[in-house]
Structure 1
């Protein structure tokens, strides 16, 4: 009887703090792993392949029981057993976690399409929620395009908000706006994107304390990261009042271009809070969630809570004011980026001067030395940023500060890889150059504190680099993000800190419980966001375009002849045969680097430095060689090369004398291969060069001697660099191939086809019922012709180089044939002649 009563009681939501404590006590417990049978496909991996990052076990040990149906010793909560009992007649739903992904189902029933709204639904109504999870989670092997979420079988019911909305605390609300009162010590968690305006009281959000002011802040709260929590710190009569407004900036439309952006934002389906504050269907771009079970898409959502030791350390560091120079390091996935984001927002909080006696008017400098997971730039770059306002969102919501009113990139260097271990010497030189520019920034902003973000490269040579930077950068504090050591790392860091007489603070790591995107997938999302983002004049926030890059206008640049626009092409890493340069460039991501001085070329003597010595200053040669502007205007991608050549401005571009001996022209294409060094291309000296941004080489027109580039770099920035006499060099590093760009047109075609199917379903339903409306005026014959056109577009979009579309129609679900699915298999090798066909 007791056991039966236990089954009848639903499990209460668990707080994130309680769950974390329970997880620490269950470190040795067996991880839960489940698999699903799928139909055989080419290059498919075995069912026993582990996920990209293992999910942690459920924290409530007393609510777990043996799973007899699975025949294993795995544990289940009481809620899971109740659900299982209710669905005994249904086939058990099993999920196979894979490191890379397949695309959602392509087949779409018209009746199902008509039941969803493409404009406001986060995931485009392809099927039911359970079918969407199956489609997103089906593995496609290591060489597939990209993978979606790695989700366990059961979703833990986590408490997200401490406030429930009712008529008393809802001031007003409509289809786009919600104004609520939050009691002191209470909080709200939201998923989606919104603008927040604090009207009364003081609230905290991701480390920032927001006071009543006219300022409106943009918040991005995707399901890929822990959800930010709005907490009332103090208020009038015990309440704070905030207004939340929907924002339409186009980033949610990126789901039509990549499956990685699907199931990221809030769903169309109303939550419990929406039913209280809305009448009719929801149109907001955000949703208030009380617990994780309120999520209609049943994702693993967690609140973003701060550890008490983190809060105490942030408070101590912020009291240093303008003298703060903090160096944050630690193992991978230990929470370094989250800690730095909290500290950054806390320092940038627009608090009244009477609160602490100190007000930040000079902003905060952010020295990001992590090329793998940068905060304000795409992968492969390290940079120095000057920030003036808090940022609320993951890195892919602000992949660049170009044109932003909240901050600027002071200087950036292209590392050419996601890890500094590829070239530690160049990495240290670049870091020292960025630090020298921070000291120049202090001349204008003397009270500007500095946050240094070091990557998870903390063992071996990475530890030597970290200790050397601690001794050389003139920092005030060292923060290490792990209380578990290891001792062979903490002791050298402590010794280096003692030598320069600065404190070393050790904080507990705060990793994410469930990882829905791997590091490679997050880089792809950030890179795709970077190339689709723009900052129009007059707008305070950026917007994203859902147009595939293949349909964007390109920039045509001469690489040979009297009107040459680039000085050369450099390939970082090992030595490559010049005959392979075209294969290395075609379809690759390259950095657009400005050469400020001829001394940037490593062939100059005494220019090479090592990580063990301070970088010697590069002589500022008086060579004022000027380069004529070679900024090509945007051209129609369908225009001929001859038409593009006619837009080239007259005037030759002289080459640097020091480059002539280092350039090798390829025999067939006449490409300028800039080769310097012995056995490999030595990077440019950071003292005399800097990165302007990234570009994708869309095509190489050999007959016209032109490169066709797609880049979000403003033409004004390139023009300004040329007016200063800088030369432009393209640098091909070892970054991931832009697989997402290759498949964008296909996904866009499929999305257009789905929208058309939904329209056809509405028209058929309207004509069958005889109801009057706009759908009844459509001609079904013309709609059928459009369907054929869209089907042909999908076929042509799938027939592109380096990509193979594999149809999987043999999967069974519940005794019936599953809809036809599409999986991406990319065949382009990362480097010609390499053994691997993947770039992960």
Structure 2
């Protein structure tokens, strides 16, 4: 078949040879953190551990190791939650998302093996980009919103003495460092763990500084975000001055093994593509649904030149969208542009939307004015928004969904 001739297979060596951390340092650090968590956490205030470091320093490896060892203590009294603020390489979702996930089982594989298509108790927010750079204020608003949602959910559920593990991005210079400071201020961690390269000079201005409390007080804030939340200088001093955390630096021998240096490695986009594959095609719940586009609000999160701004819904065909929900639907609809009964909001940043999952728009029917969408999401009744942002879409997806039709 011609269809089969158009497909190809790309093999990628997934063994990461770039980050080597001694097992003894892993054990001693994690044991120390877990002991503090068990002794200091209470039902009202979680014990927060924030991990940071440049790219390829082994943050994910260390975080998974910490979580897996902490799982030994999970019971009716102690809980464990993973906050993912790395929108470029998410651990439990496809790219462009912020989420928190209550952990109950070990993390034994790469991120694409942890994808949850139908998380019930977890929270998912769709930011729309794979980097904070296009909309850094909105990114921080999403981080803050996620933290607030955890507080609400924790208050309404059976309270536990929780440890929150916060994963951050590897962008740690310039604006990235300012955003990291704001995240530290938001989460008010008990412990900040930084993975550093022992072979890089501390005099290198392009490298990440030691994130000590002294650094925190010297580091400039991200003023546009503070202005957005109307934080005056007095409140700012109180806000930053109350922070106190234990700073732990783990040395990461980030040296490529010359024997294996010829092997291709997985980059951020590779991880996002694998996560997208996993989200749709490892779920037993993947099915085709039909949604009337007149009952949906179309939210476009891209810049003013986004390709969807002129003609919808046909331009959404064969693309991924975020299936979202908002209690302010009628209010948002009034401020939306209405073109032939299709409501759309362009470059909308004033509202943060809860994401229920994702869907692949296979077909737009002008006859029935409905979308044919493939999605593993079960709870469809609350979907009233389609959010369109940046998605890394595998080229082979069109063939895969054609196969689903033939089943």
Structure 1-normalised TM-score? Answer: 0.39
Q: Does the 8 A contact of 1:476 with 1:502 survive in 2?
A: yes
Distance 1:515 1:332 in 2: 16
Q: Does 1:399 align with 2:115?
A: yes
Partner residue in 1 for 2:208:
489
**CA RMSD, Structure 1 to Structure 2 (Å):** 3.3
Distance 1:592 1:684 in 2: 18
Q: Cα gap change, 1:306/1:529 in structure 2, threshold over 3 Å: closer, same or farther?
A: farther
Q: Does the 8 A contact of 2:93 with 2:116 survive in 1?
A: yes
Q: Does the 8 A contact of 1:586 with 1:699 survive in 2?
A: yes
**Post-superposition shift, 1:465?**
0.8
Aligned pairs for 1:272-421 (under 5 A) are 306-322=22-38, 323=41, 324-349=47-72, 361-400=77-116, 402=118, 409-421=121-133
Partner residue in 1 for 2:392:
736
Distance 1:583 1:559 in 2: 11
Unaligned runs of at least 5 residues, structure 1: 1-104, 107-143, 150-222, 227-300, 352-358, 537-551, 599-655, 676-680, 750-792, 794-840
Distance 1:685 1:521 in 2: 30
Distance 1:684 1:402 in 2: 27
Instruction: Number of aligned residue pairs: give it.
Output: 356
Q: Does 1:571 align with 2:291?
A: no
Q: Deviations over 1:476-518 (max 9, x none)?
A: 1111111445566315664355652212222123657554433
Partner residue in 2 for 1:61:
none
Distance 2:154 2:171 in 1: 29
**Post-superposition shift, 1:702?**
1.4
Distance 1:414 1:337 in 2: 21
Mean Cα displacement is larger for which, 301-310 or 390-399? 301-310
Q: Does the 8 A contact of 1:555 with 1:709 survive in 2?
A: yes
**Post-superposition shift, 1:587?**
1.2
Partner residue in 2 for 1:615:
none
Please state whether the residue corresponding to 2:321 is helix, strand or coil: strand
**Post-superposition shift, 1:375?**
1.0
Aligned pairs for 1:181-330 (under 5 A) are 224-225=14-15, 306-322=22-38, 323=41, 324-330=47-53
Distance 2:9 2:61 in 1: 25
Please state whether the residue corresponding to 2:397 is helix, strand or coil: helix
Q: Does the 8 A contact of 1:326 with 1:450 survive in 2?
A: yes
Please state whether the residue corresponding to 2:148 is helix, strand or coil: helix
Distance 1:401 1:554 in 2: 15
Out of 4, 7, 11, the residue aligned to residue 148 of structure 1 is 11
Please state whether the residue corresponding to 1:505 is helix, strand or coil: strand
Distance 1:661 1:303 in 2: 49
Please state whether the residue corresponding to 1:456 is helix, strand or coil: coil
Out of 324, 331, 334, the residue aligned to residue 660 of structure 1 is 334
Partner residue in 2 for 1:591:
322
Q: Deviations over 1:411-469 (max 9, x none)?
A: 11001121122211111111111112233344433311010000112111111011122
**Post-superposition shift, 1:672?**
2.4
Structure with greater Cα Rg: 1
Q: Deviations over 1:221-241 (max 9, x none)?
A: xx6246xxxxxxxxxxxxxxx
Q: Using CA pairs below 8 Å that are at least 6 residues apart, which structure has the higher relative contact order?
A: 2
Q: Cα gap change, 1:461/1:447 in structure 2, threshold over 3 Å: closer, same or farther?
A: same
Q: Does 1:709 align with 2:380?
A: no
Please state whether the residue corresponding to 2:62 is helix, strand or coil: helix
Q: Does the 8 A contact of 1:701 with 1:707 survive in 2?
A: yes
**Post-superposition shift, 1:524?**
1.1
Q: Cα gap change, 1:518/1:658 in structure 2, threshold over 3 Å: closer, same or farther?
A: closer
Q: Does the 8 A contact of 2:98 with 2:126 survive in 1?
A: yes
Q: Does the 8 A contact of 1:348 with 1:388 survive in 2?
A: yes
Partner residue in 1 for 2:170:
456
Q: Cα gap change, 1:495/1:145 in structure 2, threshold over 3 Å: closer, same or farther?
A: farther
Q: Cα gap change, 1:519/1:491 in structure 2, threshold over 3 Å: closer, same or farther?
A: closer
Q: Cα gap change, 1:449/1:350 in structure 2, threshold over 3 Å: closer, same or farther?
A: closer
Partner residue in 1 for 2:224:
none
Distance 2:128 2:332 in 1: 23
Q: Cα gap change, 1:661/1:415 in structure 2, threshold over 3 Å: closer, same or farther?
A: closer
Unaligned runs of at least 5 residues, structure 2: 42-46, 218-240, 258-262
Q: Cα gap change, 1:148/1:573 in structure 2, threshold over 3 Å: closer, same or farther?
A: same
Q: Does the 8 A contact of 2:51 with 2:194 survive in 1?
A: yes
Structure 2-normalised TM-score? Answer: 0.77
Q: Cα gap change, 1:492/1:313 in structure 2, threshold over 3 Å: closer, same or farther?
A: closer
Q: Deviations over 1:293-342 (max 9, x none)?
A: xxxxxxxx999975432322112111112533111111112111111111
Q: Cα gap change, 1:460/1:711 in structure 2, threshold over 3 Å: closer, same or farther?
A: same
Distance 2:144 2:215 in 1: 18
Distance 1:145 1:321 in 2: 49
Q: Deviations over 1:564-593 (max 9, x none)?
A: 3x2x11111212474243464121111011
Please state whether the residue corresponding to 1:417 is helix, strand or coil: coil
Aligned pairs for 1:439-518 (under 5 A) are 439-443=151-155, 444-483=158-197, 484=200, 486=204, 489-491=208-210, 494-497=213-216, 499=241, 500-509=243-252, 513=257, 514-518=263-267
Q: Cα gap change, 1:734/1:436 in structure 2, threshold over 3 Å: closer, same or farther?
A: same
Q: Does the 8 A contact of 1:368 with 1:453 survive in 2?
A: yes
Q: Cα gap change, 1:335/1:690 in structure 2, threshold over 3 Å: closer, same or farther?
A: same
Aligned pairs for 1:95-134 (under 5 A) are none
Aligned pairs for 1:28-47 (under 5 A) are none
Distance 1:451 1:553 in 2: 34
Distance 2:310 2:281 in 1: 32
Q: Does the 8 A contact of 1:482 with 1:507 survive in 2?
A: yes
